[in-house]
Amino acid sequence: MHPALSVIFLTTLIGAGQGFFLALYTGQVYSLGNLLPAQSSLTFYAYGSLIALALLAGGLLASFFHLGHPERAWRAASQWRTSWLSREVIILPLFMGLVLVYGALHYFGLTRPVFRLGQAVVVDLSLLVGGLASAAAFLLYLSTAMIYASLRFLQEWYSPLTVANYTLLGLASGFTLAAAFCAWSGSELVLFYTSEALLLTLIAFLVRGLSLLRNRRIRHKSTLQTAIGVRHTRIEQKAQGAMGGSFNTREFFHGRSRAAMRTLKYLFLVLVFGLPLLLLGAGLAVDSLWLPAAAFLIQYAGLLLERFYFFADSRHPQNLYYQYIS
């Protein structure tokens, strides 16, 4: 497939946004159980939500660039019964709305307890909204990933690993960002988020690695033989009927060499996993403003490559029909 920048930005930005929000909310939940110290509503949760929203809005904005007719985007909400894309389209704004409410509650300090669970657990509105938002975040991971994972004949994508990857990579980048956010806002949760980020990055590495291994072994079900229905071991396309190219050659081919793709793979492995792990590890040892921030920036840049690779690495069966010009 030819990776579209808009989709790369959309999925990475909202993935990080979701992860970051989930990090915030984890903080709130943990603090509820006194596992972590409580944070300031304003500087931590409200500003944090703003950052999450900014990421999400960035993603949303990017997504509009993908559309031929953004002015009709609202129509995309209509097919939630069958279309994962439609579901994403519904959940993304819903999630953003919830994050907005969540941030607003914190911003305006509307954190009076609504009810208590036993002695310790004070449930306020933000906790409820945050809970809903967290559920939405996970649903959003699911629908984003399922857009790809539901396409049967894109065998590289058609796997639970795709959902796991989208979720884990989003979470990892979100938590890394949370570490950076804490470092900058002077919150004592740096260590917590750093170690969580380390852990998530590590798991994400394992799962992404697994999907790389899986994809290397894929035997494509469609072949030239099934594509044109001729049984012969040697078939070659000679003409695809359009010498100047067509939508089908532009949309489904990345045009990079195998070597470039291999380089890209190693590069993103280093950027998404290797370097951030090192930097985050160092962050555990040294108190630094920059280490977690650098980890996030590098990881995010890596994610852009990872997403590029994700799209480019999948071989669409339609390509069998569009191989040769002559």
Partner 1 sequence: MTQLALVIDLNVCVGCHACVTSCKEWNTSGWAGPLSDLRPYDADPSGTFFNRVQTFEVGEFPNTETVHFPKSCLHCEDPPCVPVCPTGASYKREEDGIVLVDYDKCIGCKYCSWACPYGARELDERQRVMKKCTLCVDRIAEPTLPPEERRPACVLACPTSARLFGDIHDPNSEVSVAIREQGGYQLMPEWGTNPANHYLPRRKTRIRIHEDELLRADNPLHKEELPELPEGAETLDDVAW
Partner 2 sequence: MRTPNTHSDRDLGRVEVKETTCYMCACRCGIRVTLRDGQVRHIEGNPQHPVNRGVICAKGSSGIMKQYSPARLTKPLLRKRGALRGDADFEEIGWEQAFELLQQRLAGIRAEDPKRFALFTGRDQMQALTGLFAKQFGTPNYAAHGGFCSVNMAAGLIYTIGGSFWEFGGPDLERSKLFIMIGTAEDHHSNPMKVALSHFKRAGGRFISINPIRTGYSAIADEWVPIRPGTDGALLLALVHEIIKQGLYDRDFLIRYTNAAELVNLDPDSTEQGMFVRFEVPKEEGCFDPQNKLWWDRDLNKPISCHTEGVDPYLLGEFKLHDGTPVKPAFQLLHERVQDYTPEWAEAITGIPAATIRRLAHEMGVTARDQRIELPIQWTDAWDNEHASVVGNPVAFHAMRGVAAHSNGFHTIRSLGILMSLLGTIDRPGGFRHKAPFPRPIPPCPKPPKGPQDVRPNSVLEGSPLGWPAEPDDLFVDEAGEPLRIDKAFSWEYPLSVHGLMHNVITNAWRGDPYPLDTLLLFMANMAWNSSMNTQKVRRMLTDRDASGEYKIPFLVVCDAFDSETVAFADLVLPDTSYLERHDVMSMLDRPISEFEGPVDSVRIPVLPPSGDCKPFQDVLIELGTRLGLPAFVREDGSRKFRDYPDFIINYETSPGSGIGFLAGWRGKIGEKFLKGEPNPRQWEMYRKNHCVYQYELPRSYQYMRNWNKGYLLWARAHGMVRYAEPVTIHLYSEPLQKFRLAARGKWDGKQPPERLRQRVETYFDPLPFFSEPLEDRLTDIHSYPLHALTQRPMAMYHSWDSQNAWLRQIHSHNFLFVNPKVGAAQGFADGDWIWIESRTSRVRCMCRFSEAVEPGTVWTWNAIGKAAGAWGLSPKADESQKGFLLNHLIDEELPPCESGEHLSNSDPVTGQAAWFDLRVKVYRTDEGEPRQSSPQFKPQPPVPGMPRRRKRWLRYFAGRKAKP
Of the pair 119, 233, the CB lying nearest partner 1 is at 233
Residue 132 to residues 69, 135, 227: CA-CA distances in angstroms?
31, 5, 46
- Residue 11 is encoded by which pair of tokens? 């999925």
Counting contacts by CB under 8 A, is residue 218 touching partner 1?
A: no
- Interactions with partner 2, residue window 198-257 (CB under 8 A): 236, 238, 241-244
- Interactions with partner 1, residue window 229-288 (CB under 8 A): 229-230, 232, 234-242, 244-248, 251-252
The entry of partner 2, partner 1, none near residue 307 (CB within 5 to 8 angstroms by kind) is: none
| Candidates 12-20, 39-47, 83-91, 199-207; binding stretch for partner 1 (CB under 8 A) | 83-91
Q: Which residue has the tokens 């396409």?
A: 151
| 243: Cβ contacts below 8 Å, ≥ 6 apart | 325, 326
Residue 79 to residues 25, 87, 90, 167, 214: CA-CA distances in angstroms?
30, 8, 10, 23, 32
CB of 261 to partner 1, least distance (A): 20
Which x/- pattern over 306-325 shows residues binding partner 2 (rule: CB under 8 A)? ------------------x-
Counting contacts by CB under 8 A, is residue 326 touching partner 2?
A: yes
Inter-residue contact 51 to 20 (CB < 8 Å): yes
- Residue 237 is encoded by which pair of tokens? 């396309």
Counting contacts by CB under 8 A, is residue 75 touching partner 1?
A: yes
Counting contacts by CB under 8 A, is residue 85 touching partner 1?
A: yes
3-class DSSP assignment, residue 198: helix
Inter-residue contact 189 to 41 (CB < 8 Å): no
Of the pair 5, 289, the CB lying nearest partner 1 is at 5
3-class DSSP assignment, residue 108: coil
Inter-residue contact 267 to 178 (CB < 8 Å): no
Residue ranges in contact with partner 1 by CB under 8 A: 1, 66-70, 72-73, 75-79, 82-86, 89, 147, 150-154, 221-222, 224, 226-230, 232, 234-242, 244-248, 251-252, 316-319, 321-322
Residue ranges in contact with partner 2 by CB under 8 A: 236, 238, 241-244, 324, 326
